[in-house]
Structure 1
Amino acid sequence: MKVAVLDIGKTNAKVALVDTDRMIEVAVRTRPNRVLQAPPYPHFDIEGLWDFFLDSLRHFHAEHGVDEISVTTHGACLVLLTEAGELACPVLDYEHDGPNGLAEDYDKIRPPFSDSGSPRLPMGLNAGAQLHWLLDTIPSLRDRVAQVVTYPQYWSGRLTGHFATEATSLGCHTDLWLPQQGRFSDLPQQLGLPMAPLSRASDVAGRITAEIAAATGLPVATKVRSGLHDSNASLLPYLSQLDGPFSVVSTGTWVICMSMGGDSPALDPARDTLMNVNALGDPVPSARFMGGREYELMKPETAAATGAEIDRVLSSEKALYPAIEPGSGPFGGCRGGWSDPGMTPGEKGAALSLYLALVTATCLSLIRAKGPILVEGPFTQNDLYLDMLAVRTGQKLFVSRSATGTSIGASMLCAPLQGEGLRLTERQTPTEALRLSIYGDHWARRVSLN
């Protein structure tokens, strides 16, 4: 079976065509996930994404054939729809700081962390805060809203005409869901907003509409799965394949660490730990930071480091300290930077890779992750990151050989894992393990003193 996956990350959107017999991507098309800086507030380019998706589906079907469609998206995003299924307001970018202005009022109505597993986050990272702010600032919006849908279900709904909500997106620090009880919190009722019906991620949302079939060339019988949150798409391939405790590190704009079967942690909202919900509906202790964003902000023009530059960084303990994005992560509120701004570009590239690994290791420690660590996404191409992560955690480290773990996971909503099963490569013990360990200890001491 060939499954076309609509995969919307915070930075980039892609359509990946997954061959589920071999569990590989046979074709991928990408474009930036643009935020339109236009009134009434910064919002996602929904129509630009829609045109890209239709064009990609048309292209993939003509070249390879498409049997089903699945969807996965970033979190912290809800869509408010009218009775006609149209946008009641533009889809707010969660990095807009507008909701901060009503933080005091919102804090009075949001559920406690002990119930929601959702830490209090800035801007619109708590999707409930987005809803609260939108209702307060847009006249008559509440009267226009017929239903609120989660982001993956907006896209599967637009393809089929059947909209829904789903637990992996609701459980992504929205304040709208109670993970341990598997139900909505009372926040939607307090806000007076109707939530769309619940679906499971693997449910068939419906078949594509006649208009979509005409626009893409796909048969009108083409099924569309409801869809899920992208970090949970990365987690899904392992849920039925691995025994015992393990953790998954999903890398991208956000680095999300998820622990399965580990010790029960006392989650600390001040360190940006939280309770996610996996595709089976189970709570998942998690921690995260904006690792991909920090990489883009701090990477030098030439990030590739020579062996000599890596040696100098490890020998002199040149470093990058947290946090670069201080609004989230285990070191939120800290202001970090280079220990030596005069480092060469290669030295900065090496120190940046080590920094990202050390913050990831901190996240895994906070959620008391046990067992092997499985790394997904673009950081799998960074050897220094992987070496430091293996040394700092002391756990076996496996790297996904899939180009886009989110797409593989989302395709599994249509077909179970087949063929080779999990495509993982175990990392061998780094030759510089002792020096990496010493460097990590020094970095941690410096961070604890700040």
Structure 2
Amino acid sequence: MPTPAIAIFDIGKTNKKLFLFDEHYRIVWEKSEQFAEITDEDGDSCEDLNRLTNWVKSSLAEVMALPEFSIRAVNFSTYGASMVFIDKAGHSLSPLYNYLKAYPEGLLKQFFDTYGPESAITRQTASPSLSSLNSGLQVYRFKHEQPEVFAKLAFALHLPQYVSQLISDWPVSELTSIGCHTMLWDFDRQTYHEWVKREELDTRLAPIVPSDSARQTSFAGSTVQVGVGLHDSSAALIPYLASFQDPFVLISTGTWCLSMNPFNNSPLTAEELQYDCLNFMHYKGRSVKSSRLFAGYEHEQQIKRLAEQFQVPVDEYIRVQYSPDCIDELRLHAGRVTTQNDAKGKQLLSMQGSLFGQRNLSDFSTYEEAYHQLILDIVAQQLISTNLVLTDTSPNRADVKRIFVDGGFGKNPIYMNLLARAFPNIEVYAASVAQASALGAALATHQHWNSHPLPGDCVELKKYTASVIA
């Protein structure tokens, strides 16, 4: 008998992946490809949308033809902040513009002069002002810079919903994409912001459906349930929400370290926005207070400095063991911030770089000592960043019991031990979920294809305490 399976497309900026999960959410088949970027009409790099479109369709047809599997459903997890503009036939009207594309200063000024002040819009939409990274501003730009092409627009779709409708022919919107620093959604009123309606863009945004929706569709001679797609950061939360009921914060670490609290629904303040807080949207429609820290990038830059200073390989840090004595010595001599109580008062520092970049490396006698100081400085920032989402001011607040860390820093024993010391009253765990975003997209579609109970053991944990690993 063929194995029942769900196909999940996990589309990142670099890697495009396709997974098959069985009914117990084990990966039973996978493939991955990388596409070379092309350029848009301005010469800026962008995704090759035609190649991506053809790859999605041909790859799904490929796995549906495999005799050993019976594909019952398909869903999609993709990077966010990216819009595809389609006509009534579902064909794209423009390149898939890069979310790092420079935004015209004059147009940005026009937008805030008309609908501002900027501080009010960013607070109401829980979106730091990020230019092209605010996908709503991409739609505004398309309307004002290309009015003749805009006139042909049927729908502006976020990327997850674009790839979904390639299979389902069902153009929709959903809240994990709309609610992620798009500047589209008014979190106070739980509807599109007034500027969207005044620009009449709400009529060009597809109807909103629940994020766990699916539509039965015929494809390649078979019938499948097609999910509507999810923003990858929100999808990565789902395995944790499926496994843990008590309040937690997830610190997802990579280039950015993103602290997400799905149990904190209090509105963002102007101060929190200043320190790079934002709201994601839970796939069930609740807001997820989040804060960003550029710590992975900072780590990457500083280990290059260390390698040059001490004439060692760039990855020398992998061989450095955690030394509590070294930490205590550094704190004794440097007067480092060490506790939750004094952190914010003493060190409201920029979220863009740690203090380590200003340190004189010749002050350190060994690489090990210097690397411990680097992580000490990064965790001092992480403490501030994560604290911004820990405190819930809502009436039905629930205290966070656990912090989970996934990604690169979760494998770093110095970071993990220092984080445990920084949060002595909260359990701190290194967490591991195989292909979290893809798994989350699969779990969101569970009710449409899988009669087994949801698994409760998706996450592998390693607990850290202030002094030892348990």
- CA shift for structure 1 position 233: 1.0
- Name stretches of at least 5 consecutive residues in structure 1 with no aligned partner: 214-218, 322-328, 434-450
- CA shift for structure 1 position 159: 1.6
SS at match of 1:222: strand
Structure 1 residue 398 corresponds to structure 2 residue 429: yes
SS at match of 2:132: coil
SS at match of 1:172: coil
Whose radius of gyration is greater, 1 or 2? 2
1:80 aligned residue: 85
Alignment of 1:275-290 (within 5 A): 275-290=279-294
Structure 1 residue 273 corresponds to structure 2 residue 277: yes
SS at match of 2:464: coil
1:331 aligned residue: 350
**What TM-score do you get using the length of structure 2 for normalisation?**
0.76
Structure 1 residue 307 corresponds to structure 2 residue 320: yes
Quickly say closer, same or farther: Cα 1:303–1:132, change in 2 above 3 A. Answer: farther
C-alpha distance in 2 between matches for 1:86 and 1:356? 46
- Tell me which moved more, 93-102 or 70-79: 93-102
1:440 aligned residue: none
Q: Which amino acid aligns with 2:438?
A: S
1:3 aligned residue: 6
Structure 1 residue 260 corresponds to structure 2 residue 267: no
1:216 aligned residue: none
Quickly say closer, same or farther: Cα 1:275–1:308, change in 2 above 3 A. Answer: closer
RMSD: 3.4
C-alpha distance in 1 between matches for 2:324 and 2:247? 35
Q: Is the 8 A contact 1:169 1:228 kept in 2?
A: yes
C-alpha distance in 1 between matches for 2:383 and 2:218? 43
Alignment of 1:163-178 (within 5 A): 163-178=171-186
**What TM-score do you get using the length of structure 1 for normalisation?**
0.79
- CA shift for structure 1 position 53: 3.5
C-alpha distance in 1 between matches for 2:380 and 2:35? 28
C-alpha distance in 2 between matches for 1:330 and 1:141? 45
- CA shift for structure 1 position 34: 5.2
Structure 1 residue 375 corresponds to structure 2 residue 383: no
Correspondence for 1:29 among 20, 28, 31: 31
C-alpha distance in 2 between matches for 1:131 and 1:226? 20
Correspondence for 2:460 among 424, 428, 443: 424
2:394 aligned residue: none
SS at match of 1:427: strand
- CA shift for structure 1 position 239: 3.2
SS at match of 1:129: helix
The percentage of counterpart residues that share the same residue type is 24
- CA shift for structure 1 position 432: 7.1
Deviations 1:321-354 (A, max 9, x none): 9xxxxxxx98356686262456888777666655
Q: Is the 8 A contact 1:8 1:73 kept in 2?
A: yes
Q: Is the 8 A contact 1:251 1:375 kept in 2?
A: yes
- Tell me which moved more, 291-300 or 339-348: 339-348
Q: Is the 8 A contact 1:118 1:175 kept in 2?
A: yes
2:308 aligned residue: none
1:443 aligned residue: none
Q: Which amino acid aligns with 2:126?
A: G
- CA shift for structure 1 position 181: 3.1
SS at match of 2:433: coil
1:446 aligned residue: none
2:450 aligned residue: none
SS at match of 2:418: helix
Q: Which amino acid aligns with 2:6?
A: V
Q: Which amino acid aligns with 2:417?
A: D
Quickly say closer, same or farther: Cα 1:95–1:332, change in 2 above 3 A. Answer: farther
Q: Is the 8 A contact 2:351 2:381 kept in 1?
A: no
SS at match of 2:390: coil
Q: Which amino acid aligns with 1:331?
A: S
C-alpha distance in 2 between matches for 1:308 and 1:377? 19
- Tell me which moved more, 276-285 or 397-406: 397-406
- Tell me which moved more, 226-235 or 386-395: 386-395
